Each structure stands twice: as structure tokens, then as C-alpha cells.
Amino acid sequence: MALSRRPRVRIGTSGYVYPHWRGRFYPEDLPGRAWLAWYAERFDTVELNNTFYRLPTEKAARGWAAQVPRSFLFAVKGSRFLTHVKRLKDTGEGIRRFFEAIAPLAGKVGPVLWQLPPTMKPDPPRLKAFLDALPGGFQPVVELRNPDWYCDAVFEVLEEAGASLCLHDLVEASAPFPPPGRLYYRRFHGAGSPYAGRYGPRTLTRFALEMERLAESGRPCFAYFNNDAQAHAVLDALDLRALLEDRLGGAQTGAPPPPDV
């Protein structure tokens, strides 16, 4: 895993395959097979969401890796089979298959995100057993969709396992700050309604200050925008990155040279 590489701050979008981004972000005449390369000229990270729904073929994973520069990092979303079907139980074979499937991404894998379903009740021992079963060399991040999971017992499990808590705006729950784990990982799921709306300058500035504080303390920071409607995710990601470039400088944010979006 390549988390030791600079920059300290990486900002991108949750997914990149959105047909409604054609003409808003992607040129009208750009074929879908070239979208990732286009995206990677403008951002240095993306959250791979399709790995949540199905395991990629070796050909697909190698294709992703080939389309991005060496410094690019994929945040990979863990399989819902393990979190939503198996619900973190009896996952040994599924874990093996998942990490085998993303192996072609090699040194371009950043955090691995495990999203727990909102219907799953808190079970710190089960979470601990699952995290302990994950292979070394990867940085696990856990997104909790049930606010009952926000408790000291769960935070202690994350700390002991070296896992990080994903901060997000789909539940109203208080997370400690700094959050548990060695990473800062935030998902922006939508302003006002899920997966839609723009985050305004005041909100983005607040999160820029939060990330600046942790980045300067040496903690790697990752942020992904999931408000894909009307390509708002792209615009907000660019705005947040610009705020942090002003505060931290391009060397810390690692922003690619900005071609026309």
C-alpha cells in the first residue's frame, strides 16, 4: 500500500462512471473507456464504488491500473457480500477472493472502505474479528450507517485494529475528533438531500480547516464527494482542493496541473 507517499491530502469523487457527467465533466465525444484517464488528469484519487457491487475481473482491474499515473491512488470499496450479506460473519473465503480481485491494482491501492448497513446492530466483537481477519498491507476504513455504532467500544476496536473511522453526513451522530485511526477519511454524500446539491463555500472552508489541521500533524487525509447529480461532486472536489492548495500548497495536495474541466 502506498499511503506513505506524499501528498498528505487527496480529494476526488466517489466513482467516475456517471453517464450524466457527459457534457458536464467529460467531453461529449469522449468514449467511456477513456473516462478514467481523463479523470486522472484532473484528480489524483478516486473511490472505486463498483467493487462494492461485484468483484472486478483481472482484465478490468489491470485496465484501471493502466489508465492512471503511478502516483494515483484508488480508494477501494469493499464487497457488500461481506458487509451486507454475510454481515461480517464467516468471511474468510470472501476476504481472500476480494483481495485477490484487486491485486492487479498493486501499489495504487490506498484505503479500503467497508460500509456497514444501517440495519446492522452494533457488535464490537464481530467487527473486531472481521478486521483481524483482513490481510496486512492495506489500510481499512469503516463507514457506519447506524448511529448506534458511534460508541466508545466501537472506537476502541477501530483503534486496536489500526482501522480508521469514515466521517460522513448520512447519519446524525457525534464522532470524536480527531477520529479513530491513522487516516482522515470523509465522504460527502450530498448537501440538503442524498447524492445531490452543492456544498457552499462556508461548509467547504470548515472542512478545509479540519483537513489542514490533521495534514499538518502528519495524518494522511482523503475526501470523496458522492453528490454526483449534475456533476456537483466534481465541482465541490475542485473547490475543496483549491481551498487546501491555498492553505497547504500544491506539494501537500498533489494536485495535477489543472487542464480545463
Domain residues of the chain, as ranges? 9-253
pTM beyond 0.85: yes
DSSP code for 7 = P
Query: Mean pLDDT by 10-residue block, N- to C-terminus, for the chain (261 residues)?
Result: 63 98 98 98 97 98 98 98 98 98 96 98 98 97 97 97 96 86 96 92 96 94 97 98 85 57 59
CA 255 vs CA 9, 51, 80, 84, 236: distances in Å: 9, 25, 31, 35, 14
208 CB-near residues (< 8 Å, 6+ apart): 240, 243, 244, 247
What digits encode the pLDDT tens for the residues 108-152? 999 999 999 999 999 999 999 999 999 999 999 999 999 999 999
The whole-number pLDDT of residue 3 equals 47
Crossing angle between the packed helical segments 201-216 and 232-248, to the nearest 10 degrees? 50
| Class of 9-253 in CATH | alpha beta
What share of the chain in percent tops pLDDT 70? 93
What share of the chain in percent tops pLDDT 90? 86
What digits encode the pLDDT tens for the residues 86-113? 999 999 999 999 999 999 998 999 999 9
